[in-house]
Chains A and B, each alone.
Chain A
Amino acid sequence: DIQMTQSPSSLSASVGDRVTITCRASQGISNYLAWYQQKPGKVPKLLIYTASTLQSGVPSRFSGSGSGTDFTLTISSLQPEDVATYYCQKYNSVPKTFGQGTKVEI
């Protein structure tokens, strides 16, 4: 099975900072990658799919890039409401594994 590894596991940044989260697949997955945001006690929310397509209604400060094995989620200017855990997920084939998550704090 393809493994999904996120880094870092957690980070602390200031409001207005640019934040980058990395997701690495153990084998190539083309661009079949999604990013989710889960705020404490809440349901996961889709942010990005096909590696770089922003889901409707998601603020433009979120962006995704990458293809093959290496992907990034970038928050261009961190806001207080962005405190959450972020997960990547591959969906090119089963199992459609999630990364272990990256916790973002202010």
Chain B
Amino acid sequence: QIQLVQSGAEVKKPGASVKVSCKTSGYTFSNYGITWVRQAPGQGLEWMGWISGNNGNRNYAQKLQGRVTMTTDTSTSTAYMELRSLTSDDTAVYYCARGGGYADYWGQGALVTVSS
């Protein structure tokens, strides 16, 4: 069955970086993109960007440009999202999901808490 399994919860200090992994299985990784979505506490879904599982093409949300990097490791069918210069506004659950358009399978989410 198709699964996306994310890394665990993280607590980071302001100014630090975080890297969330998303290990996929059950499908051909290169046939689908990976979308990253985050959700701040009590808030809605925010599209962060996506990366192709084939050629590494990617697009990021304008507000995150310069702070976010999405990568893939096709040898392990794993996607990564790194966010730098964290502030308290980055406290959220971070989701990876299969698909570059709509997202049909989702990871379980990774809570990132930014606190001094």
Residues on B with C-beta less than 8 A from A55 are: 104
Partner of B106, one of A32, A43, A85, A100: A43
Please tell me the size bucket of the interface on B. 20 to 34
B108 touches A43 (CB 8 A): yes
CB distance from A86 to the nearest CB of B (A): 11
B102 touches A34 (CB 8 A): yes
Q: A44-B106, A100-B44 are in contact. Are A91 and B101 (CB under 8 A)?
A: yes
Q: Which residue on chain A has the smallest CB distance to residue B4?
A: A43
A36 interface residue (CB < 8 Å to B): yes
B44 touches A98 (CB 8 A): yes
B44 touches A32 (CB 8 A): no
B102 touches A46 (CB 8 A): yes
